[in-house]
Amino acid sequence: MSRLLDTQIKELKLNFVKMGLNTATALKNAVTAWENEDQELGQKVVDGDEDINEQETHLEGKSAQIIALQQPVAGDLRKIVAILKASSDVERLADHTVHIARKAVRSQNSPRKTKLDRLVLKMADNDLKMLQDVLQAYGDLDDHAAIAVSEKDHLTDQYLQELNQLILEEIKADHEFVIEGFDYMKLGNHLERIGDYVTNIAEWIVYTTRGRITELGRSDY
């Protein structure tokens, strides 16, 4: 690898991690805004999504430029392709974060259920920790840490099942809770998808280091 190519790939990875950290901050703020019905903070997250989109566009442009001018092969090309794919996952993750923030913007004295809130926050905490850990793993190109992150996704899935069961119980007890219950379901689905996208990012770390696409969560790694 030439010194210039090495420098460009390191810079690309650094910019990707920065994009991920910005998204992690947005996720934390979106959940806080939802929890506290903080419309101003929620709107801040919504408005900030354009910056994350621009970061992805910048990464795409730089990646294309490096490939065209440096013509990387083998491991170097894998690193660039993985960053491209992972940045797309971060952007989609950010879109789900915006949906959570919008719920905070639109909420005003909406009926809340403590047990449901508790599960939503558990899901969000797990997602945020996963995202922070996978970004650290990407910075270190640590595939073992990436696999460990992916194994935490089952917690988010478990919380979603518990959440949906509780929602159904609440609706049976109070039919007027249907609309609010559906909102909780959508919120849970957004958080579940966030966990999936974090797992995708972990898979791109494994691809970078091992040279093969691996579906984490199965026994083939």
| Inside any domain, residue 167 | yes
| Inside any domain, residue 218 | no
Into how many domains does the chain fold?
1
Q: What is the pLDDT of residue 81?
A: 96
Residue with tokens 């919120």: 187
| Inside any domain, residue 184 | yes
Q: What is the pLDDT of residue 154?
A: 96
Handedness of CA 148, 152, 153, 154 (dihedral sign): positive
| Inside any domain, residue 91 | yes
Domain with 117 in it: 3-210
Both tokens of 88, joined, read: 């797309």
- CATH number (domain holding residue 167): 1.20.58.220
| Inside any domain, residue 53 | yes
| Inside any domain, residue 154 | yes
Contacts of 51 (CB under 8 A, 6+ apart): 22
Q: Cα torsion for 175, 180, 182, 186, to the nearest 10°?
A: -160
Per-residue pLDDT of the chain (221 residues; tens, 9 = 90+): 588 999 999 999 999 999 999 999 999 999 999 999 999 999 999 999 999 999 999 999 999 999 999 999 989 999 999 999 999 999 999 999 999 999 988 876 667 788 999 999 999 999 999 999 999 999 999 999 999 999 999 999 999 999 999 999 999 999 889 999 999 999 999 999 999 999 999 999 999 999 989 898 654 44
| Inside any domain, residue 172 | yes
